[in-house]
Amino acid sequence: MKILYVDHEFHKKTESSNFFVEILQGIDHVELETYYLDPDGETLDPVDEYSSMDFSMYDLVVVWQLEILSLPPLAQGVATLIVPMFDGCSQQPDEYWKMISYASIVNFSYNLHANRANLFRYSKLVQFFPNPDEYTQVSDWSDLRVFLWVRRPNEVNPEHVFRLSRHGFGRLHFHLSPDNPHEKIEIPEWMSAYNVTTSSWFSDKSELKALMDEFNVFICPRLTEGIGMFLVESLARGGCVIANSAPTHNEYIAAGINGHLFDFGSYSPLDLSRAEEIGKFARLGVERGYDRWQAQKLEIADFVKLIAIQSVKVPYSSQDAAAAARYYFSNMEKCREFARHMNHIELEDECSENSPASICIPSEMLAGKGDNELTNPMGRDVAVESLRMGINKIPGWNRVKKFVPLNIKNNVVNFLASKQ
């Protein structure tokens, strides 16, 4: 079986998705090729290059996280497996999910599974756990030593942590290594009265690991996660882990049993008096979860074998698929609009002239020659809305418009919009 694994260039560096590649490599008689691309760069060339590939030589294409990239292989009738991450796609509307539902899906998030699995013919829920033996279990609970990796200060920052653990700690540490390396993080001056320490980016991962070994309370740095490696590793250490009450945090932490959850925007102090007990349950959860994960890895292999032999027929062309992928990385609203049109096309309708791309987008735009907003309904709405806002600024207009019938107002605005 020949499998193509598609992933973001970034994961090649972080190696966070390597475990899944290893699972695929471990399947009997599998020939695996990997394809990493950076769709977030200055141009969309990598996306176009990917979309124009010939996928027919593969039995299965596996797309990690960038689920929109399942469309080009699906359009060529190649079985495709997506592995989306909750933090990247949970906000997508129904039409988006419907568009990609011709793929099969492996979910690492229960919430994503519960909300979307019914759209897919083949779906599987799994939960990742690291090997607990690779982490030193917290043993010193003489005081509470709190650790926060400040990755996204607009989501979880030192002040939030201080409020959550108010006066209940012996030491507070901020690892200042934001996702955006240009972002400047400042620790409020008043915190210097407390035992606050900081560190910054380590080139060697083991240094960070050694630093984390000094702590027993860990705050998750983001509001939501796809899996949440920091989260699961902190649980594996048997620490008392605190996180925002959203997936996947709430799928790994049961509040008050093996960790604490807080609601974003509400930071009343948590009761950390049972931190040691909670840490013990955190470790236990990872030990049990790791055993389950070992069994699930074998199930994933069986699942892959099953879906690779399924025939695929989708109601859109390769041209449509390429356009959708472009929109996804350049203009999400347009991508969703496009998905709405895609979903109106019947499966039998394979005529490219009637495809959604030609309905809502002029051909010159598909070729990347230009972008005329007024040729599609969404662009028209934008123009109408900006005119409305302009007219509303005319002094006294708001009083006058009460007396003008709605249909007249709409006709005038539409007329002006079409002239613009």
Partner 1 sequence: MDDELGKCDEGELRPRLFIADPLCAFDFGHNAQSLVYFGDYFFDRGFDVKCLVSKFFPLQTGRYKEFKKSFHYYYHEYIPIKVGEEENQLVREGHEESIKRLSKVPKDKRPFDALEAVATADWLEIIQTEELTSKDYIFYPSIDYNGWCGLLRAAFILGPEKTPKIHGRFIGVMENATRSTDRPLRVIRSLLNLADPEKKISLSAEAPVYSSLLEKTFDRDVSVSLYPMKASVVPIKEEEPFLVYSAGAGREDKGFLSLLNIAGTYCKNYPDDNVVFRVQNVREKDEKQLTHYVSQIYAAPNMELIEAIQSDEGMADNYADCHFLIMPYDFETYRLRGSAVFMEGLTKGRPFAISAYTGFHPIVEELDTCYNCTSIDQFCDVIHKYYKTSVVEISKKAASTAQEYEKLSYSGMAMIFPEIVQ
Nearest to partner 1 of 157, 258 (CB atom): 258
Nearest to partner 1 of 75, 253 (CB atom): 253
Among candidates 95, 123, 94, 97, which has minimal Cα distance to 110? 123
Nearest to partner 1 of 59, 287 (CB atom): 287
Nearest to partner 1 of 288, 409 (CB atom): 288
Distance in Å, CB of 209 to partner 1, minimum: 23
Nearest to partner 1 of 2, 280 (CB atom): 280
Nearest to partner 1 of 25, 250 (CB atom): 250
Nearest to partner 1 of 283, 341 (CB atom): 283
Among candidates 253, 264, 247, 233, which has minimal Cα distance to 164? 264
Distance in Å, CB of 287 to partner 1, minimum: 8
Distance in Å, CB of 385 to partner 1, minimum: 33
Distance in Å, CB of 257 to partner 1, minimum: 5
Nearest to partner 1 of 82, 246 (CB atom): 246
Contacting residues toward partner 1, per CB under 8 A:
110-111, 114-115, 118, 127, 245, 247, 250-258, 274, 277, 280-282, 284-285, 288-289
Bridge pairing between strands 217-219 and 145-150: parallel
The type of residue at 222 is: R
Distance in Å, CB of 255 to partner 1, minimum: 7
Distance in Å, CB of 252 to partner 1, minimum: 5
Task: Yes or no: say if 266 and 219 are a contact pair by the CB < 8 Å rule.
Answer: no
Nearest to partner 1 of 245, 343 (CB atom): 245
Q: Measure the CA–CA gap between 128 and 131, rounded to whole angstroms.
A: 10
Task: Yes or no: say if 366 and 320 are a contact pair by the CB < 8 Å rule.
Answer: no
Distance in Å, CB of 114 to partner 1, minimum: 5
Among candidates 171, 137, 145, which has minimal Cα distance to 281? 137
Task: Yes or no: say if 379 and 373 are a contact pair by the CB < 8 Å rule.
Answer: yes
Nearest to partner 1 of 284, 301 (CB atom): 284
Distance in Å, CB of 335 to partner 1, minimum: 24
Distance in Å, CB of 392 to partner 1, minimum: 39
Distance in Å, CB of 169 to partner 1, minimum: 22
Distance in Å, CB of 82 to partner 1, minimum: 20
Q: For residue 34, is the peptide bond before it cis, meaning its omega torsion is within 30 degrees of 0?
A: no
Nearest to partner 1 of 90, 177 (CB atom): 90
